[in-house]
Structure 1
């Protein structure tokens, strides 16, 4: 049996430690390179928002994040800035015309969805903030609503990532099956556009599904969905006020309750895009910049999730998101085919 002196053991340990440090440095270098390349790729607009989130999740679950703190700070800023810039793609004239025709059932549908989300969240025992983000995303405008409300509620990265992930998965399902269902039920283009706007989470997916069905369906679906997206503004303000009041007499400082000032700038951007055409040459570029920023944000949020944080979330939010979406889709379809909801 070979024996080693203390000096030999010390030398061997130092060599082993050196080898480990070299391996760690190489792995860290690769992780940094992959991270930076992914951020550049996301900002280029060459990948879709769902793919950016999935890529971020794969990165966070397989590699040690070299910029964890910096990524969180950047994601928070980009999320709010992107929401503001998305306002430059909203024409309030079209939105108001579509929204005015369906104001009552839009308000009713959003209220009922939020109430059903609250009930289902309590029944399935989904954490309150997570449940509200999923419910708001289902009720209003998917990822945009979650992006706007997350900072207001001080939602964690895992809460944001899971909510966004659920929305994007269901968007993909809707893109495939909604046109098939519409054709099978012989929905008119107006009926299908209205159903898509009421039941599909994100505007981009509403556009995709409606475009497959026809030009009229596309026009109806886009305008009604944009009208619903405006409800992000009052819901964000109400949410901030409720949070502030709820925490007024607790140990949480009022200063820590975030007011959604970026929603005000979002509204200003929409007003400029609609009523100040003198700078209209810049608005499409700003809107595209907002979309690119949101894609980068999704990668950053996903990259901040690791196995430990994902394990704490569990399957309950996914169950709630699917159940809530199915109920909303079926109820809105029944209301449209029975003539209870129409334009």
Structure 2
């Protein structure tokens, strides 16, 4: 099959990431793997392939298309999941707390990474992912920060796995905490890494808990937009004397905003029976993201994890624990 795909480098590369993504999504349905999620599973499969068989250089044109172009399309479609109206009308207080989560995550992670002499780029990607919305946030800001594909892949894999551990830990300690289900949901939404992790932690506590958790989390997702523009401004200031390092405007974020508006005020209001459509788009978005993650995972060398990722991982873990305690105290 690989020989056949290599005859058509562009379509073969896309097809290869399609196969890895399909396998990752199927594996994510199995017991145990469902806690990790489709994106992390797809990346892990790609990493295993890279270590066993090497990077499929013959398929590079298609692999790059999946990791760059399809990734941007998926981020744009991800905007449909963000209901701006709900966040602005019902979650302004949570939006402010979400901003606090993002600020603390970035500041603390970067201070710790400097103290630990950790890799700056991976630390920054993990800081953004921890503060906002995990893999999707990392994927959104990686072009702005001009991160290498290997660094992006390592960061996505780390945050997906760590977030899963935290989500499971929340479900264990949640019943013993002296808080209401709604407060538990807010705590989960303000502190956990990805939407999937928030749902994993809050769903066992009931519908009210899950609803508040997702509302708090959506506020953090909304803040990805201003954060991205701040990073664009900062990167341009940082490289103002380096014409080779100029930061291109992330036009795909405009698409993200447009899709958010369409999902909120068109599909949500004008076409109220659009739940099945949105579910279909969500599934497509997940598959495209899984394809992009597969392409990224093929760039990962295990040796790099030991040399580049361990110290950023420690910084992120400390920050995540701190966020859990901090957000709990604000309930």
Specify the TM-score bucket, using the shorter chain as the normaliser.
0.7 to 0.9
CA distance in structure 2 between the partners assigned to 1:86 and 1:177 by the alignment: 27
The structure having more radius of gyration, on CA atoms, is: 1
Displacement of 1:245 after TM fit?
1.6
Other structure's SS at 2:330 match? helix
1:298 partnered with 2:302: no
Q: Aligned pairs, how many?
A: 308
| Matching residue of 1:217 | 209
Match of 2:263 among 257, 270, 273: 273
Contact 1:158 1:310 (8 Å CA) reproduced: no
Partner of 1:39: 18
Residue range with higher mean Cα deviation, 281-290 or 59-68: 281-290
Counterpart check, 1:316 vs 2:295: no
Partner of 2:47: 57
Distance 2:76 2:161 in 1: 25
Structure 1 residue corresponding to 2:153, chosen from 161, 167, 175: 161
Q: Deviations over 1:311-333 (max 9, x none)?
A: 54241121112111111112212
Structure 1 match to 2:9: none
Gaps of 5+ in 2: 7-11, 29-37
Tell me the CA shift for residue 57 of structure 1.
1.0
Q: Please say if residues 98 and 227 of structure 1, whose CA atoms lie closer than 8 Å, have aligned partners that are also in contact.
A: no
SS at match of 1:249: coil
2:89 matched to 1:110?
A: no
Structure 2 CA distance for partners of 1:143 and 1:314, relative to 1, 3 Å: closer
- The residue number in structure 2 matching 1:119 is 111
8 Å Cα contact 2:78/2:282 also seen in 1: yes
> Alpha-carbon deviations, 1:293-326, whole Å to 9, x = none?
1111111111122345445424112111211111
* Structure 2 residue 316 is matched with structure 1 residue 326: no
- Please state if 1:192 is matched with 2:184: yes
Displacement of 1:40? 2.8
Give the aligned CA root-mean-square deviation in angstroms: 2.5
Q: Could you give the per-residue CA deviations for residues 138-181 of structure 1, whole angstroms, max 9, x where no partner exists? A: 11111111011011111112211121111111122123210211
Q: Determine if contact 1:79/1:147 at 8 Å carries over to the other structure.
A: yes
1:98–1:133: structure 2 CA closer, same or farther, 3 Å change rule? Answer: farther
TM-score, normalised via structure 1 length:
0.82
Partner of 2:32: none
- Displacement of 1:185 after TM fit? 1.5
Normalised by the length of structure 2, the TM-score is 0.85
The 2-side partners of 1:138 and 1:72 are apart by 26
Separation in structure 2 between the aligned mates of residue 165 and residue 307 of structure 1, nearest angstrom = 12
Given the alignment, which residue of 126, 132, 140 partners 1:140?
A: 132
Match of 1:71 in 2: 63
Q: Structure 1 regions of 5+ residues with no counterpart? A: 1-25, 337-343
- Provide the C-alpha distance between the structure 2 equivalents of 1:162 and 1:95, rounded to a whole number of angstroms: 31
Question: Is 276-285 or 157-166 further displaced after alignment?
Answer: 276-285
Q: Runs (4+) of structure 1 moved beyond 6 Å?
A: 30-35
CA contact (8 A) 2:129 2:159 kept: yes
How big is each residue's C-alpha offset from its partner over 1:17-51, in whole Å with a ceiling of 9 and x where there is no partner?
xxxxxxxxx9x649969995662352484342221
Partner in structure 2 of residue 20 of structure 1: none
> Could you tell me which of 238, 253, 269 is aligned with 1:246?
238
